[in-house]
Structure 1
Amino acid sequence: MLPDSILTQAELDFIQSMQHNPRLNVRDSTRSLMVNGGVQIQNLLTRLAAHEQVTIHAQFQDQQMNFPLHLVEDEFHALHLELGTPSIYEEGPQIRPWRFALPEPLALETEKGSLTSLWIHEVSFKGVLLEYRKPRKLPARFSAWFNPVGHAPIAIEGTLERVKENGMGAYRLNRDNKEEAERLLRYLQKQHQRLYPAMHR
């Protein structure tokens, strides 16, 4: 005599359909990293990632990308290395963060969604170029929301570094809020991918 089944036939069918669903069995290739180099290399990278910031540096023509490596624990308590969102740089007389020039300037917003007099023209993961549409001098500091079309708003704050010849202000961004800084990196990565698809294949 067969023992009573714990699951119903419908539940078994559902589990089997989940296992054979190709969309659920595809790994996120942008997040996972397979290290082929032997146990010693894997152990070294794991120890370094657990105690220090480890990055993978990639160079493509006149641009650089630095991918942070993160040590993550899965549901089975196994440790894995994952690639984080890259910081993108451009080369020139000096290496500087890649700047995305918005197609049209965009007004920064308050927390309640009201438009401010600060209009963003360019953004990088370290700074922004702002126009102040008031007949006063640029504020020394700002705190507002960057709300690009098709993306969730990103909280940014900055300190004035210099006033350019055209009257716009170059602001250094405060990156203390790690979650918002990561969201800005992801936004910039998407814009970079749109402009330079060959680098992201």
Structure 2
Amino acid sequence: MQADALLSQDELDFIQDMQHSPHLNLSDPMSGLLLNGDRKLKDLLTRLVADQQVTLLAHYNNQQLSFPLQLVEDEFHALHLHLGSPDIFEDGPTLRPWRLSLDSPVELLDGQDQPSGLWVRDISFKGVLLELRGLAEAPPEFNLRFAAEGVQPIAIRGALRRSIGPRLAAYDLSRSLPVQTERLREYILQAHRRAHPDLHTQVSR
């Protein structure tokens, strides 16, 4: 090391470690989409994403992952294609959203954190299966909060789709606010990562 160097080798190593720390990356490197190939094709895809809903579809072990493509503007006002959180579906006679079955049911809470008597058994980004405890019948609709362990409560609005015996009911969640639906979609994605670590480990390489 030269005597007039401004930084020691230890300080340089520390700065390099900080630059490569994943915690300092403000955007997820996996969310960016690098397009190589014909310029006209890239321009066409960019125009389609700007005007229409465009998705990237992948199949894995009888499941479909549908990634929305989004245009994101950087600090230099350049537009980039990014992948949003995917919708995950199960293949079968009918395509249905992938459902997370909770190990222990979670009770929905009202705005004052009071119990509702409605307990989440299975949940997807589009619907939820509830267990009724202490209620005579399933309410036709609800506006409550899903407070799973480790996440901030997610506000969901449900409309009764059907009752399943005296204690179970299925609800549609399409009336939830878009920002809350996105939070629920992200929660489902994290659960899918835990359930299928082999898939997500391969994707992250």
TM-score above 0.5, yes or no: yes
Query: Match of 2:82?
Result: 82
Moved over 3 A (4+): 17-20, 24-27
How far has the Cα of 1:151 moved from its partner? Answer: 0.8
- Which TM-score applies when normalising by structure 2? 0.85
What is the alpha-carbon distance in structure 2 between the residues aligned to residue 161 and residue 52 of structure 1? 30
8 Å Cα contact 2:158/2:176 also seen in 1: no
8 Å Cα contact 1:109/1:146 also seen in 2: yes
- Which TM-score applies when normalising by structure 1? 0.87
Unaligned runs of 5+ in 2: 1-5
How far has the Cα of 1:167 moved from its partner? Answer: 3.1
What is the alpha-carbon distance in structure 2 between the residues aligned to residue 19 and residue 200 of structure 1? 25
8 Å Cα contact 2:50/2:71 also seen in 1: yes
What are the Cα deviations for residues 159-194 of structure 1, in whole angstroms up to 9, with x where unaligned?
000111363100000345111010000000000000
What is the alpha-carbon distance in structure 1 between the residues aligned to residue 68 and residue 25 of structure 2? 25
In the superposition, relative to structure 1, how do residues 19 and 51 fare at CA in structure 2: closer, same or farther (>3 Å)?
farther
What is the alpha-carbon distance in structure 2 between the residues aligned to residue 152 and residue 37 of structure 1? 42
Query: Match of 1:6?
Result: none
Unaligned runs of 5+ in 1: 1-8
8 Å Cα contact 1:19/1:25 also seen in 2: no
In the superposition, relative to structure 1, how do residues 189 and 136 fare at CA in structure 2: closer, same or farther (>3 Å)?
same
Q: Number of residue pairs matched?
A: 190
Query: Match of 1:48?
Result: 48
Written as runs of structure 1 = structure 2, the 5 A alignment for 1:133-148 is: 133-148=133-148
Query: Match of 2:128?
Result: 128
8 Å Cα contact 1:57/1:67 also seen in 2: yes
Amino acid at match of 2:133: R
How far has the Cα of 1:19 moved from its partner? Answer: 10
Q: CA RMSD in A?
A: 2.4
What is the alpha-carbon distance in structure 2 between the residues aligned to residue 135 and residue 49 of structure 1? 46
